[in-house]
Structure 1
Amino acid sequence: MDPSRTRSLTRGAPVAVLACAAVLLGGCSEPAAPAKKDTATTRATLPMAAEDLQNRYQKVIKEVLPSVVQIQASHDLGSGVVYDEQGHIVTNAHVVGPEKTFQVTTANSEEPLRAALVYSYPEQDLAVIKLDRVPPGLKPAAFGDSEKVAVGQIVLAMGSPLGLSSSVTQGIVSATGRTVSEGDAGGGTGATIANMVQTSAAINPGNSGGALVNLDGQVIGIPTLAAADPVLGGSAAPGIGFAIPASMVRTVADQIVRTGKVVDSGRAALGITARTVVDDLYHPAGAAVVTVTPGGPADKAGLRPGDVITRLGGDKVATTTSLSEALAGAKPGQRTTVTFLRDDQERTAEVALGEQ
């Protein structure tokens, strides 16, 4: 498992002081009384509002945390979310890695339960495992609507960070629609994932595969990784985490539960393997085609090994990662143009994208 996976408004005080001074300098004692009343009302309201929010947090945690489990592989540890009453659990592909069996600790089990891999889909960094025995009271989580996730929405991240099971952190949705390439070092899958939810809730090693939950008690995403700060030597950047949206989780998990594999990924593909090439100054200069799938989209468009792709549609391609990101924003069947270099000459070809 990849370890990376994972102000007070002080200027308001002088304004308040100036406002009071203005009232006093006016020499009117009568208008001061309502101000004191408003202040008293505010002081009474604020604790009540804070208590209401706290109660809502606790209600959501009580409802959802029993649906979040800890997954122990032979060397790695992560989290998972109970998907249905049959004992299916959805998690990250990088949590399960190459292994086939796992120890799962649920909220209602005193001892770890055995689970087996159903299918792993590294391209979207999702996997489904299934408990050998379903314990009494196993509670599936409720998944929300990704289209309703909004920036500023309060969310809770639930999982087992650093092995601390049933832990909860709090933050907001910082952004939506992020395309993130997670890398393949340290156990990652190297997936490029579109439409991820960015959150300020703390995401630490062990949170991967857990639940990002809104205040309606719905899972809106699966926490997958934290941003890495190159200035800090690649360590996790505080307050910048990413979760796979619930819509994609359901799309992939439903297919795995129903058919035992992913049969319709919804991910666009060119049908090639590629590597990044650099120019004379060692700057990334494109994605060189290494192999072309016979009969695939690139083959039909006339691309061949040795071509260097520099643009896909309107997106500049400097690396294999940027090519993956451009494809992540496209759909299978979509027609677009590929700009590439062949024998130092720029060419273009129209391509109908396939499916990964």
Structure 2
Amino acid sequence: MEPKNPRRRLLLFSVGAVLILLACVCTGSVPDDPVAPTPFTSSNNNNNDGNLVSDIPFEAVVQIWAIVDCGSGQLESWSGSGSIVSPDGFIVTNAHVVLSDRYCNVEDLLISMTQAEDRPPVDTYYADVYQADEGLDIAIIRITRDINNDLIDNSTLNLPTVGLGSSAELRLGDPVVIIGYPGIGGETITLTRGDVSGFTSENPYGDRAFIKTSATIAGGNSGGLAATEDGQLIGIPTQLGYGGEDQYVDCRTLADTNRDGIIDERDSCVPTGGFINALRPIRLALPLLEAAQRGEITITDTSAPQAELPTGGTEFAFEDDFSSDTGVWGTFSNDAASIQVSGGVLQFQVNNDNWYAWSPADLSYDDVIISVDVNVNSPAGDGDFGIICRYQDTEASNFYGLEISEDGYYAIWKYVNDEFEVLTGWDQSNAIAVGASNYILTAGCVGNQLAIAVNGEIVAEATDDTFASGQIGLIAGTFESPGLQVNFDNFLVSTVE
């Protein structure tokens, strides 16, 4: 099988796409209703419909820029929104807005304050992360420095704030106001109206783990203000429950768009993901806010799924211990990469950076559970490897990829007519030991359900119905560092009835 070079395209579309549809493990108690402080209100005005908008606290909504280092120096890469909830500078936002991802380290957070509804926000402060829960995708940050990076006395800030409402009192059809900086379509603050269209349950957060809304919420609004008509904060727009397809969630500086050889602030941002249509209720942020106000600093990941691989009645279908080359596997060798059966393993050698090599077996199935032993014989540091299913090689390659990486990340993606689309990831999991030599990978491709487990623990699930059947196989690739050698052994396949 001749390798192809899609890794750079994967980079453009995989970052920031954080679609987590998995059950979470909660830390701490979750109160039913917050005690609302006195809300900040703006000047009295009426909108064109005659509805009073005097209580919508747009000045308490900020734009948050992540200052990151992606390997070529610091730059303002991606942005989100946040809501100031205390005069001394605590801000509620999304975890994915303020935390590092696989490709870039967040070095600082620039806070741009809203001063007028018809002008861009003004860079005013820097902030630090106090609390973040990646499973909830909620974070609490606090303004700590002025624009000159000097420490400030928080007690003197007296910032505009938004009052905390009660998401438990919401009903279907209740109006919702979304305020934030969408990142596309202009630089000024944007207000979007919608209605409560439903609720989504999730263990252990109950029947209102998500609030669904009819409002179209563009990605830069992620982490911003979702309020009642009288300006009470009742939800946080989040990627976790978004339902759009092929639309933009975040806009991140990830590619050398001006072709000057450097990825920096002079490049155009790359939109990724989809429109958001879900809110996290504000009650889920309260334990984090209370911990932050006590001065505690904690970053947790409660996103580890507690589900099982999709199964039904299973029947053993195929096994290969690679003691000999049976001709089932696609093998090749060239300067960029090689795949061969040697020494009782199927050996992948990837010599180039940003390169993928895959080997489909000459076996086709509909619904399968696949297990394989993985040995990283020659690490690259950030190489990835995994299982492919439903491979279809017509005029272009089409298949699902379920992978983990040496540095502790996972992803499920699909390759459609030689184009990548990430279904979930790349995100980090504590279940993936960083720098380990040996893993047991298990992948399920059953109906429209896809899942991958590492050493018996599921790290990712996704739902997609693009491909219903096809060949199975294995894959390995590199990112920034070349020279990855991965050995696969004890390949087992069971079909699912």
- Please give the TM-score of this superposition, normalised by the length of structure 1: 0.55
Q: 1:172 aligns with which of 187, 191, 195?
A: 195
Aligned equivalents of 1:144, 1:208: Cα separation in 2? 19
Aligned equivalents of 2:138, 2:163: Cα separation in 1? 18
SS in 2 for 1:161: coil
Q: Is the 8 A contact 1:158 1:210 kept in 2?
A: yes
Residue 141 of structure 1 corresponds to 162
Residue 38 of structure 2 corresponds to none
Q: Give the AA of the match of 1:219.
A: L
Structure 1 unaligned regions, length at least 5: 6-50, 181-192, 291-304, 311-315, 327-341, 347-356
Distance of aligned partners of 1:158 and 1:230 in 2 relative to their CA distance in 1, 3 Å threshold: closer
Aligned equivalents of 2:368, 2:293: Cα separation in 1? 41
Residue 243 of structure 2 corresponds to 227
Instruction: Tell me the CA shift for residue 86 of structure 1.
Output: 2.1
Aligned equivalents of 1:159, 1:147: Cα separation in 2? 23
Identity rate, percent: 23
Q: 1:68 aligns with which of 53, 61, 67?
A: 61
Indicate yes or no: 2:219 matched with 1:196: no
Aligned equivalents of 2:170, 2:370: Cα separation in 1? 35
Q: 1:51-106: per-residue Cα shift (whole Å, max 9, x none)? A: 79945442232xx2121111111201111111222211111111112224211112
Residue pairs, 1:199-278, within 5 angstroms: 199-225=213-239, 226-229=242-245, 236=274, 241-258=277-294, 260-261=296-297
Structure 2 unaligned regions, length at least 5: 1-14, 20-45, 67-75, 101-105, 116-120, 145-151, 249-271, 318-363, 375-439, 462-491
Residue 83 of structure 1 corresponds to 85
Indicate yes or no: 2:125 matched with 1:113: yes
RMSD: 4.8
Q: Give the AA of the match of 1:126.
A: I
Q: Number of residues paired by the alignment? A: 251
SS in 2 for 1:177: strand
Distance of aligned partners of 1:306 and 1:75 in 2 relative to their CA distance in 1, 3 Å threshold: closer
Quick check: 92-101 or 71-80, which moved more? 92-101
Aligned equivalents of 1:196, 1:286: Cα separation in 2? 33
Aligned equivalents of 2:143, 2:247: Cα separation in 1? 42
Aligned equivalents of 1:90, 1:113: Cα separation in 2? 15
Q: Is the 8 A contact 1:178 1:196 kept in 2?
A: yes
Aligned equivalents of 2:452, 2:171: Cα separation in 1? 31
Instruction: Tell me the CA shift for residue 166 of structure 1.
Output: 2.1
Aligned equivalents of 2:368, 2:187: Cα separation in 1? 41
Larger Rg: 1
Residue pairs, 1:1-356, within 5 angstroms: 2=16, 54-61=49-56, 64-73=57-66, 74-98=76-100, 99-108=106-115, 110-132=122-144, 133=152, 134=154, 136-162=157-183, 164-177=187-200, 195-225=209-239, 226-229=242-245, 236=274, 241-258=277-294, 260-261=296-297, 281-283=365-367, 319=451
More helix as a share of residues: 1
